[in-house]
Amino acid sequence: MRMYDLIMKKRNGFALSGDEINYMVKGYTDGTIPDYQMSAMMMAIYFKGMDEKETLALTMAMEKSGDELDLSRIKGIKVDKHSTGGVGDKTSLALAPMAAAAGIPVAKMSGRGLGHTGGTIDKLESFPGFSTDISTEKFVENVNRIGIAIMGQTASLAPADKKLYALRDVTATVDNMSLIASSIMSKKLAAGADAIVLDVKTGSGAFMKREEDAFALAREMVKIGNGAGRKTSAIVSDMDQPLGFAIGNALEVEEAINTLKGNGPDDFLELCLTLGSRMLIAGGRADGEKEARQMLLQTIEEGTALKKLAEFVEAQGGDASAVYDTSLLPRASLQRSLYARTEGFVSHIACDEVGICSLLLGGGRETKESRIDLSVGIVLQKKVGDYVKENECLAVLYANDADKLSAAENRLQKAFQIGQEKLEKKPFIKGIIT
Ligand code: URA
């Protein structure tokens, strides 16, 4: 086989066979196929697309390009959850303890944030001492003992995707549905869960700005997951404004804790219940949505999810006292309110701009090497559709640097639009694909 022939075949619009895809992925991973040939292939795929069979073959070739996590020593049906990412997306922090308290073993690999969307690991490091740098043995032991463990994504997991994603990033070939779906799913499959629940975001703060693209990606990933023998479902949820009210690492942890105490924002709680229900059904703990939601709500009412979060933090070396007293979480030294300049209804909050404001305050990474400030961020006081009086507070900014605070404040003011008409609330959950 020659890479040249495969590039030509795809360029001319033909489907690649499973063997050809395996050859290409293996060669690119071990360095025998150079970047320039793979770039040409990615561009050919970008223009000519891949059918369902090719997409599944690419996903599985990337899944098998490195280590695969063996979760067979964990008892029960392991259900993983993945979000395509967004602003204020703290879902795992509340959902993992809720699902674990309802009897689903949560064995999760998570990442750090880059750019204006945060990562679960960064957020969890708001608990002093918490570490995701644990051995596979400890990971398995913790899930069996307390029901949850989260570890950082190792470099040996789907290395083909790691290399290919970096190449696509600099050759304008990221935004192809089959390539995105296979990239995400290769990592999920290698992470070893029996079932996968996906949260595909749509809106101004999401990767998929248009709802129809989010649905297409969700359908593609569900097909891949089921095709690979893992029970997979997806929901499409709104990311046209930040999720909940808090944006920023420790602030999001606090909001997740408050949610487990029964004081969570409506949209965030709804997302946890919708995703959690899919997890409980996939894991055989509930027969239907109604029963699953009831079980999840019970974990909040009875305090079992909060207790589970504390056990999990402690088991990974963290100080869990902040679970019961959130004033112990990292706190910023400066605080400033942003006020409405006119009266009316909030008609739009530019979601990605709010994420960038949090990044400017120091809460996100500009580059992989950046150090982040866990204490800074924004807490919205108003969301889309809310009525606001002139000079009423729209959001509170938290910072440790006065210059950064002023820069973020100016930008945040422009992210809010206020109109005179009351908008009809759009559904937060756009659909479920099973
Ligand atoms: N996230 C991924 O992991 N891969 C993509 O291709 C796009 C988003």
Query: CA–CA separation, 143 vs 95, rounded Å?
Result: 15
User: If you average pLDDT over residues 390-408, what whole number do you get?
Assistant: 97
Q: Burial-class residue 178 by CB neighbours within 10 Å (0-12, 13-18, 19+).
A: buried
- Check pLDDT > 70 for residue 364: yes
pLDDT at position 218 is 97
For ligand 1, whether the C-beta of 94 sits within 6 Å is no
Instruction: Measure 46 CA to ligand 1 centroid, in angstroms.
Output: 14
Q: Which atom of ligand 1 is nearest to the CA of 174?
A: 6
- Here the tokens at position 320 are 């869990």
In this structure, which residue's CA is closest to atom 2 in ligand 1?
A: 184
Instruction: Measure 237 CA to ligand 1 centroid, in angstroms.
Output: 18
User: If you average pLDDT over residues 273-293, what whole number do you get?
Assistant: 97
Position 216: which residue type? A
Instruction: Measure 38 CA to ligand 1 centroid, in angstroms.
Output: 17
- Here the tokens at position 304 are 């079992």
DSSP run (H or E) holding 36: helix 35-48
The dihedral region occupied by 244, where left means phi > 0, alpha psi between -120 and 50, and beta the remainder, is left
For ligand 1, whether the C-beta of 182 sits within 6 Å is no
For ligand 1, whether the C-beta of 184 sits within 6 Å is yes
For ligand 1, whether the C-beta of 183 sits within 6 Å is yes
Q: Which atom of ligand 1 is nearest to the CA of 165?
A: 6
Higher confidence at residue 272 or residue 116? 272
Query: CA–CA separation, 279 vs 147, rounded Å?
Result: 14
* 377-380 and 393-399 beta bridge pairing: antiparallel
Instruction: Report the predicted TM-score, pTM, of the whole model to 2 decimal places.
Output: 0.94
For ligand 1, whether the C-beta of 46 sits within 6 Å is no
Instruction: Single out the residue of 17, 9, 46 nearest to residue 177, CA to CA.
Output: 46
pLDDT at position 222 is 97
Residue bearing tokens 């674990």: 100
Q: Which neighbouring-strand residues pair with 81?
A: 197
User: If you average pLDDT over residues 396-407, what whole number do you get?
Assistant: 97
Q: How confident is the model at residue 154 (pLDDT cuts 50, 70, 90)?
A: confident
pLDDT at position 117 is 67
pLDDT at position 83 is 94
| Alpha carbon 385 to its chain's center | 25
- Rg for the chain, CA atoms, rounded: 22
As annotated, the active-site residues are 82, 161, 168, 183, 187
Instruction: Measure 154 CA to ligand 1 centroid, in angstroms.
Output: 16
Higher confidence at residue 430 or residue 85? 430
Number of H helices and number of E strands within the chain? 17, 13
Query: CA–CA separation, 82 vs 278, rounded Å?
Result: 12
For ligand 1, whether the C-beta of 42 sits within 6 Å is no
Please give the biggest Cα pair distance in the chain.
69
Contacts of 214 (CB under 8 A, 6+ apart): 200, 201, 202, 206, 208, 236, 430
Write out pLDDT tens, residues 200-216: 999 999 989 999 999 99
In this structure, which residue's CA is closest to atom 8 in ligand 1?
A: 180
Q: Which atom of ligand 1 is nearest to the CA of 184?
A: 3
For ligand 1, whether the C-beta of 180 sits within 6 Å is yes
Torsion over CA of 31, 34, 40 and 44, rounded to 10 degrees? -20
